[in-house]
Amino acid sequence: MDNKNTIEPSTLIDDSIDQGNQKRVIEFKSNRLFFILGGFFFANAFIAEFIGVKIFSLEPTLGIETLNWSLAGDGPLQFSAGVLLWPVVFIMTDVINEYFGVSGVRFLSLLLVGLIAYAFVMVFAAIGLDPADWWVEGYADKGIPDMQQAFSGVFGQGMWIIVGSLIAFLVGQIVDAVVFKKAKQYTGNKAVWFRATFSTMVSQLVDSYLVLYIAFVIGADWTMEMFWSIGTTNYLYKVFVAILFIPLLYIIHNWIDNYLGEEVATELKELALKKN
């Protein structure tokens, strides 16, 4: 049988129809897409990890009356500032899974955990440096009497928080990727909203409680009542935002399909489902 006119899968994905045209790695659209998605995935996860030390009250931030929801106790709903960006990480996870499969998500997640761990080592090393005398008191007129204490307080997260965050993130990412793939086996390329939302609901059910249990039940003697209360609040928020972001998910998918071209995009999706 004559196979001269058969197009190999790598030809489509590499976006190199002209075999005589040698391209560099970054010139292939599929490679550039992986770098762009991975970079945005890394940036949002890093920022969320470091701004997460701030706890904010939802109702005062929105300028509305305190809801006094039973799960939050007598006061307003309170969240870590990291929740502003983690939903973007969830979307990136689902998009990467769609085009590069479980193996793509696993590779980026493991690399990200390693980089975040490295970042915390460097942060703790910076905290341990002997501060200059003028720097410690240099911002007293701005309401910061001790910059060393302020620096340590903002960047020096407790060890249990770091461990809990990294373990919960990695487990949540793997669960999300596996559930997303299983859902796609039933839906095919249709119902993107369903597999993205369903995988987030399952993975964040694990992530939301696991991080709090390790960081605060084991590491800070939280009561189980507080654990379930805050964990449930955080989980419901994540599910709500995942549903709210469904239109954005379709916008990203349409942009990627147009960027790659229908033929390349379709084959990437098929390989993502088969090769993991």
pLDDT of residue 223: 82
Chain segment 173-202, per-residue pLDDT in tens: 888 888 888 888 887 777 888 888 888 889
pLDDT of residue 42: 93
Residue 22 burial class via C-beta count within 10 angstroms: exposed 0-12, middle 13-18, buried 19 and up: exposed
Mean pLDDT of 66-91: 75
Angle at 31 between CA 112 and CA 43, to 5 degrees: 30
What's the rounded Cα separation, in Å, for the pair 143 and 124?
24
Mean pLDDT of 241-266: 89
Going by their DSSP bridges, the two strands 78-80 and 55-57 should be labelled as antiparallel
Which residues have C-beta within 8 Å of that of residue 81, sequence separation ≥ 6? 51, 52, 53, 54, 55, 56
Computed from CA positions of residues 41, 43, 46, 49, in that sequence, does the dihedral angle turn out positive or negative?
negative
pLDDT of residue 23: 66
- Radius of gyration (Cα) for the chain, nearest Å? 22
pLDDT of residue 74: 63
Statement: residue 99 has pLDDT above 80: yes
Statement: residue 225 has pLDDT above 90: no
Calculate the average pLDDT of the chain: 82
Mean pLDDT of 88-93: 87
pLDDT band at 134 (very low <50, low <70, confident <90, very high): very high
Would you identify the CATH topology of the domain 36-57+74-274?
A: Arp2/3 complex 21 kDa subunit ARPC3 (1.10.1760)
pTM for the model: 0.79
C-beta separation of 44 from 88 below 8 A: yes
pLDDT of residue 251: 92
Mean pLDDT of 60-79: 73
- For residue 137, what is the DSSP state? S
User: Within 13 Å and on the Cβ side, how many CA atoms surround 161?
Assistant: 11
- For residue 57, the surrounding DSSP H or E stretch is strand 55-57
Domain ranges, ordered by start, for the chain:
36-57+74-274
Which residue has better confidence, 273 or 138? 138
Q: Which residue has the tokens 């997640």?
A: 109
